[in-house]
Amino acid sequence: MDDAAVLKKRRYVLGMKLGEGSYAKVKCAYSEKLKFNVAVKIIDKKRAPRDFLERFLPREIDILAKVNHCSIVKTYEIFEISDRKVYIVMELGVQGDLLEFIKTRGSIPENVARKMFYQLGSAIKYCHDLDIVHRDLKCENLLLDKDFNIKLSDFGFSKCLSRDEDGKITLSKTFCGSAAYAAPEVLQGIPYEPKIYDIWSLGVILFIMVCGSMPYDDSNVRKMLKIQKEHRVHFPRSKTLTIECKDIVYQMLQPDVSRRLNIDEVLSHIWMQTPKSQGPSPALYAKAGECSRNLEEVKSEHKQENEPQAETKTDKKHEFKTATKLNLSVNAEDAVQEEGQTEIDVLADQMQKTQIKNGSN
């Protein structure tokens, strides 16, 4: 039975394809029960790797069934059929994703970015308070509803944390996510605290929101890592940002994990406490804003499904994905000598080999 027939039985009318990966695709559908359009993620278990089926998919389904927050994409239904396909029916991001929004309209004014980032931060706090971590925060995974509100999506690398007998979070040894958004400790293959990893990714996202460009160039991971470890964050001269905005980004992009902000400190930062404007109306968003030269060559991609990488000699797992790129902002990088670090070479090679197909969320 094809997908359309399966979904029709459950009163969904299948529509256009939104994205496709190596073993999953996302399609739009109309729900006759809900009376509005939804997104349906269809996972072909026969084509998916064993590691995905045994670890990542069960975690994703379990977490999607648990979370309920206004800034997290709603999951309406999850079901499986006999020919080994899993269907996840979710809220549709009718305005696309944040990356496409910035690519088309340019950087976001601070007052609007603050409102959107607060929505994202509140979703992460909700997850972290439940000991749930995302581990793949990036602009492609932030969908926009009809009013351009943030909706966090794609929990494919998420997990529920475990704690030791003293209540301390167990460090993670699965190194996953997207290189451009990955924290230095993850790039170095060091066991990491997953909540603190999420904070680094939030810093990258906020930089992109207010600058319209990437803070680091991940085409050379060794070089990028050296810049990150030196705590160098260069804001483009063409952008006039407040000191408070630069400070919160700088503190989230802190390579010293003991000094990096946690989610409560992010939400209580002075930049977040500035009186929040209501933000432009959707009608204003519809007009083309400033379009950064850095964004013109960005490809329109959503989520990509990539097969897990093999274990390294140190028995650590690396689950890196290649993120859709924005170009590096002008003056955002100094000349740095490359380092010959074996572990980083392995990670860099793995990331370069990761293939992207039309993304799916």
Is residue 198 among the annotated active site residues?
Answer: no
Q: How far apart are CA 31 and CA 12, in angstroms?
A: 5
Using CA atoms, how far residue 250 sits from 18, 172, 205, 243, 244, in Å, is 35, 24, 12, 10, 10
| Residues 135, 198 contacting (CB under 8 angstroms) | yes
Per residue, the 3-state secondary structure of 33-83, as one string, reads CCCEEEEEEEEECCCCCHHHHHHHHHHHHHHHHHCCCCCECCEEEEEEECC
Token reading at 338:
């490359």
41 marked among binding-site residues: yes
Angle between helices 342-353 and 221-229 (to 10 degrees): 130
| Residues 197, 191 contacting (CB under 8 angstroms) | no
Q: DSSP for 269-330, please give it.
A: SHHHHSPPP----HHHHTS-----GGGTT---------PPPPP-TT--EEEEEPPPPPPBPT
Q: How far apart are CA 73 and CA 63, in angstroms?
A: 12
Burial class of residue 297, CB neighbours in 10 A (0-12, 13-18, 19+):
exposed
Residue 18: strand, helix, or coil: strand
Q: Which of 97, 136, 198, 218 is catalytic?
A: 136
Tokens 């239904």, located at residue: 77
Token reading at 174:
């699965």
Would you list which residues are annotated within the binding site for ATP?
Answer: 41
Q: Indicate which residues carry an active-site annotation.
A: 136
Would you list which residues are annotated within the binding site?
Answer: 41
